Amino acid sequence: MKVTVVGAGNVGATCADVLAYREIANEIVLLDIKEGFAEGKALDIWQKAPINVYDSKTVGVTNDYSRTAGSEVVVITSGLPRKPGMTRDDLISTNASIVQSVTENVVKYSPNAIIIVVSNPLDVMTYCAHLASKLPRNKVIGMAGILDTARYRAFLADEIGCSPKEIQGMLLGGHGDTMVPLPRYTTVGGIPVTELVAKDKLDAIIERTKNGGGELVKLMGTSAWYAPGSAAAQMVEAIVKDQKRILPVCIKLEGEYGINDCYLGVPAVLGKNGIEKVIELKLNSEEMELLQTSRKHVKEVMNVLDNMAAKA
């Protein structure tokens, strides 16, 4: 079982670390463009193996894609993170060319791989990887919903004073301020969340979730990595172990929710074929309106990418 992680920065190295210590893959290739950087991170992760007791091997390489050949899953985390004052969309011009060239190299050596995109702006970088890879939609998947729901669940656990394990939640839409958390589909130990949390408190948690990435950028001067790296690793695990987990992921919609040709987060079954089924929830009119607002925003940024490609 071979998995490649491109980008050995904060998110990529965290993802490789989780893949290794949880023994999700037995060979992990960590690749970066910076000379020696991935080699150093991989060596550090390997030296943790005797302490944390695992034998999955992480290998670091500098831009040598031949070493990634035959990967079953490739996680793309290469690209700039945002700084305070920036939106994720501000990253498009730098990150689109990085994601495009990385994807082309990935598919050259691992034509059968399933690609998980993490780089921002997430929904549009997933579209970019889809265009560059020419792979079917079930094999090019964006990571955002697991992270966003994890933030939502963590905030709810604090509010209720319970374990985050008890909280199940779902969230739709783009990875940005227009994401659509769904209280109607949120339960705490099987109890509807609305029975346990007052409306004003729930509204405040939803707002905090929407700005969850920005809150961390403001605190740290760069974006988050522990939860994002773990979320990407959870997607890898669902695929390589064919777990058929139902997780919120970014995928190209082809008619689901009445939306066509737009990358958005929706619940889906994740297994050995990547996305095995998109789950269509029955939304009420308010939820549908919020999803349409999110679609409109993501579509505008997808158009920016199309215009950049037309000018290139």
Ligand X SMILES: O=C([O-])CC(=O)C(=O)O
**Residues near ligand X (CB under 6 A):** 81-82, 88, 120, 147, 175, 213-214, 216-217, 223-224, 228
Q: Could you say whether residue 247 binds ligand NAI (CB under 6 A)?
A: no
Which residues make Cβ contacts (< 8 Å) with residue 27, sequence separation at least 6?
1, 2, 3, 56, 57, 59
Pairing of strands 57-62, 2-6: unpaired
Q: Is 8 annotated as a binding residue?
A: yes
Q: How far apart are CA 156 and CA 89, in angstroms?
A: 28
Window 43-82: residues binding ligand NAI (CB under 6 A): 77-82
Q: How far is CA 309 from CA 43, 100, 214, 293, 305, in A?
A: 38, 11, 28, 25, 6
CB of 215 to ligand X, least distance (A): 9
* DSSP 8-state symbol, 173: B
Q: Could you say whether residue 9 binds ligand NAI (CB under 6 A)?
A: yes
240 binds, among ligand NAI, ligand X, none (CB under 5 to 8 A by kind): none
CB of 175 to ligand X, least distance (A): 6
Q: Could you say whether residue 262 binds ligand NAI (CB under 6 A)?
A: no
Q: Which of 175, 210, 252, 295 is catalytic?
A: 175
Residues 72, 95, 137, 106, CA torsion sign? negative
Q: Could you say whether residue 223 binds ligand NAI (CB under 6 A)?
A: yes
What is the enclosing helix (H) or strand (E) of 42? helix 37-47
Amino acid in position 50 = P
Binds ligand NAI by CB under 6 A, chosen from 224, 233, 235, 268: 224
- DSSP notation for 103-163: HHHHHHH-TT-EEEE-SSSHHHHHHHHHHHH---GGGEEE--HHHHHHHHHHHHHHHHTS-
- In the chain the first and final C-alpha atoms are separated, in Å, by 38
119 binds, among ligand NAI, ligand X, none (CB under 5 to 8 A by kind): ligand NAI
**Is there a catalytic annotation at residue 175?**
yes
Residues in the site for ligand NAI, rule: CB under 6 A?
Answer: 6-12, 32-34, 37, 77-82, 91, 95, 98, 101-102, 118-120, 122, 143-144, 147, 175, 222-225, 228
Active-site amino acid positions: 175
- Residues at the binding site for substrate are 82, 88, 120, 151
- Residues at the binding site are 7-12, 32, 82, 88, 95, 118-120, 151
